[in-house]
């Protein structure tokens, strides 16, 4: 862990600027592919810090990349800044109270995620400049993590080509090296077309697209019994065909999310769901148009990188939360059920403790019962060795994607968590830049996990990211 203390001083030197960046992004919540103001903040900060900036990465106007250093290996630090709809919330209070505005909110803490990632990249840049070592650091500002799979599109377009390893983090209730568990996930739309008719006078002439959607959903609900138990299938109605019950609905559409433990399992399951849709179309005399909207791969672990990050974390120690941090976390916990809190500990695999916020470190190899979601970091992990940190920024038990996350997005505790995350990431990057053997071991581990399967992006080549227009006032 040579020089890692120096790298942490470099993080501390910049922490105030990046906490302020995080707070500004918190105050301009923008959802998938609309992050024009947030990416402008990130691009401006990259320039201010002296990075070489590339905008419009992979043809996505809300993606940005900054590079610094010369020669040597390239280490990528990945950031995000997208918000979620419906999670608007005043900061620093422990009761639900949406702010006036568009209803969006940083209910997954990506304001912190992006700022800490760029803070780490900035410290690594300074370390490279001061040490004179060859090596490059890149900060990738990645939009639309929530349902937009931007990193998968970026990977498909070669935005990460040439990078030797990637490091990222996510705000969390616990401070730990993240276990690389996530489900591969496809979002697929099914649009049924039938024939309209008077539902009373000529029902025999109608072919109901709404019936087809309902039968498809019933069919998939029966399918659930016969899929691997870690698969997840959920759906939302996009179009129920209109509001008139006396018209046979000629059009109807449903969006599915289909998740599986790995890429191959997901591709198999996608085909089975498609068969159910075709069956529903056949039963109802309708036709169905099937299109993939986005997809992400499962995460591949990387043992050498996880061990290197854990060494950094143990050297750093726990996050120094104080009495005030704990008092607010306790107020947030008072809005949760006992089960929420138990469940959080069970997921991580450690016994319940007294503290309302994680003032300890989770060991590397504890075995919990994680409830697994999906992330577009998965695709990056198929392209190169990848590791993720978790740093505590929220009270233990806080549910993901909740008003409580938004409420805790600007606290002193959140700023401590983001600084700690930056130190975990920067320390690991410095280890990689100083120790060729560690990088070689990470690459060998990655190669072994890939085996004979080379990465194929699960998003078909003709599917484009659902880019959103620049709002007029930001033009």
Residues that bind Zn ion (CB under 5 A): 108
> Rounded to the nearest whole angstrom, what is the least distance from the CB of residue 208 to Zn ion in the complex?
39
Mapped onto helix, strand or coil, the DSSP state of residue 437 is helix
> Rounded to the nearest whole angstrom, what is the least distance from the CB of residue 106 to Zn ion in the complex?
10
8 Å CB contact between 209 and 287: no
* Region label for 109, one of left (φ > 0), alpha (ψ between -120 and 50) or beta (otherwise): left
Pick 87 or 108: Cβ nearer Zn ion: 108
Degrees, nearest 5: CA angle 458-107-469: 60
> Rounded to the nearest whole angstrom, what is the least distance from the CB of residue 234 to Zn ion in the complex?
18
Using Cβ positions, the residue closest to Zn ion within the complex turns out to be: 108
> Rounded to the nearest whole angstrom, what is the least distance from the CB of residue 121 to Zn ion in the complex?
19
Q: Percent helix, strand, coil in the chain (nearest 5)? A: 45, 20, 40
> Rounded to the nearest whole angstrom, what is the least distance from the CB of residue 379 to Zn ion in the complex?
15
Pick 277 or 348: Cβ nearer Zn ion: 348
Distance CA 224, CA 213 (A): 17
> Rounded to the nearest whole angstrom, what is the least distance from the CB of residue 170 to Zn ion in the complex?
6
Pick 107 or 304: Cβ nearer Zn ion: 107
CA 243 distance to own-chain centroid: 36
Q: In 10 A of CB 238, how many CB atoms? A: 13
**Environment class of 443 (CB within 10 Å of its CB; exposed 0-12, middle 13-18, buried 19+):** middle
> Rounded to the nearest whole angstrom, what is the least distance from the CB of residue 145 to Zn ion in the complex?
6
Which two three-digit tokens encode residue 94? 């422990």
> Rounded to the nearest whole angstrom, what is the least distance from the CB of residue 146 to Zn ion in the complex?
7
Pick 145 or 431: Cβ nearer Zn ion: 145
Pick 401 or 449: Cβ nearer Zn ion: 401
Pick 39 or 216: Cβ nearer Zn ion: 39
**Environment class of 271 (CB within 10 Å of its CB; exposed 0-12, middle 13-18, buried 19+):** exposed
* Sheet arrangement for strand 74-80: 52-55, 64-70, 135-142, 74-80, 165-172, 386-392, 176-177
Pick 69 or 147: Cβ nearer Zn ion: 147
Distance CA 153, CA 280 (A): 31
Alpha helix ranges (H) inside 395-468: 403-407, 412-434, 436-450
Distance CA 144, CA 107 (A): 14
The phi, psi pair for 179, rounded to 5°, reads -75, 135
Q: In 10 A of CB 126, how many CB atoms? A: 22
Pick 41 or 80: Cβ nearer Zn ion: 80
Pick 209 or 389: Cβ nearer Zn ion: 389
Pick 67 or 82: Cβ nearer Zn ion: 82
> Rounded to the nearest whole angstrom, what is the least distance from the CB of residue 144 to Zn ion in the complex?
11
> Rounded to the nearest whole angstrom, what is the least distance from the CB of residue 401 to Zn ion in the complex?
8
DSSP per-residue string spanning 269-294 = HHHHHHHHHHHHHHHHT-EEEEEEEE
């Amino acid at each position: 862990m040579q020089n890692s203390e120096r790298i942490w001083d470099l993080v501390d030197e910049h922490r105030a600027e990046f906490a302020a960046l995080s707070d500004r992004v918190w105050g301009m919540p923008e959802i998938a592919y609309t992050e024009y103001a947030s990416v402008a903040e990130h691009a401006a900060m990259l320039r201010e810090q002296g990075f070489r900036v590339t905008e419009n990465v992979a043809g996505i106007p809300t993606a940005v990349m900054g590079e610094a250093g010369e020669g040597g290996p390239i280490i990528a630090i990945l950031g995000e800044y997208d918000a979620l709809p419906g999670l608007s919330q005043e900061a620093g209070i422990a009761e639900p109270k949406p702010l006036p505005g568009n209803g969006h909110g940083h209910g997954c803490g990506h304001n912190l995620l992006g700022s800490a990632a760029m803070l780490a990249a900035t410290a690594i840049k300074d370390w490279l400049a001061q040490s004179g070592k060859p090596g490059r650091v890149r900060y990738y500002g990645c939009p639309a993590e929530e349902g937009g799979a931007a990193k998968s599109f970026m990977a498909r377009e070669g935005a990460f080509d040439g990078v030797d390893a990637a490091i990222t983090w996510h705000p969390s209730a616990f401070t730990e090296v993240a276990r690389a568990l996530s489900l591969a996930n496809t979002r697929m739309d099914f649009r049924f077309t039938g024939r309209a008719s008077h539902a009373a006078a000529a029902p025999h002439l109608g072919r109901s697209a709404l019936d087809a959607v309902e039968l498809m959903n019933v069919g998939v609900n029966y399918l659930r019994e016969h899929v691997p138990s870690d698969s997840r299938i959920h759906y939302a109605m996009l179009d129920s065909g209109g509001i008139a019950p006396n018209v046979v609905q000629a059009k109807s559409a449903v969006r599915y999310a289909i998740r599986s433990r790995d890429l191959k399992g997901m591709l198999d399951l996608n085909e089975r769901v498609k068969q159910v849709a075709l069956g529903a179309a056949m039963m109802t005399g309708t036709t169905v148009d099937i299109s993939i909207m986005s997809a992400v791969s499962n995460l591949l672990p990387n043992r050498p990188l996880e061990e290197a990050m854990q060494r950094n974390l143990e050297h750093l120690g726990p996050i120094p939360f104080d009495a005030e941090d704990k008092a607010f976390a306790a107020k947030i916990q008072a809005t949760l059920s006992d089960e929420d809190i138990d469940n959080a500990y069970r997921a991580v695999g450690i016994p319940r403790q007294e503290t309302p916020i994680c003032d300890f470190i989770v060991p590397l190899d504890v075995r919990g019962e994680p409830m697994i979601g999906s992330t577009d970091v998965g695709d990056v992990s198929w392209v190169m060795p990848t590791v993720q940190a978790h740093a505590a920024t929220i009270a233990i038990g806080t549910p993901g994607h909740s008003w409580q996350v938004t409420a805790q997005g600007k606290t002193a505790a959140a700023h401590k968590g983001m600084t700690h995350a930056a130190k975990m990431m920067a320390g690991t990057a410095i280890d990689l830049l100083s120790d060729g053997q560690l990088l070689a071991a990470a690459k060998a581990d990655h190669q072994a996990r890939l085996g004979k399967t080379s990465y194929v992006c699960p998003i078909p080549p003709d599917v484009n990211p659902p880019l959103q227009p620049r709002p007029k006032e930001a033009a």
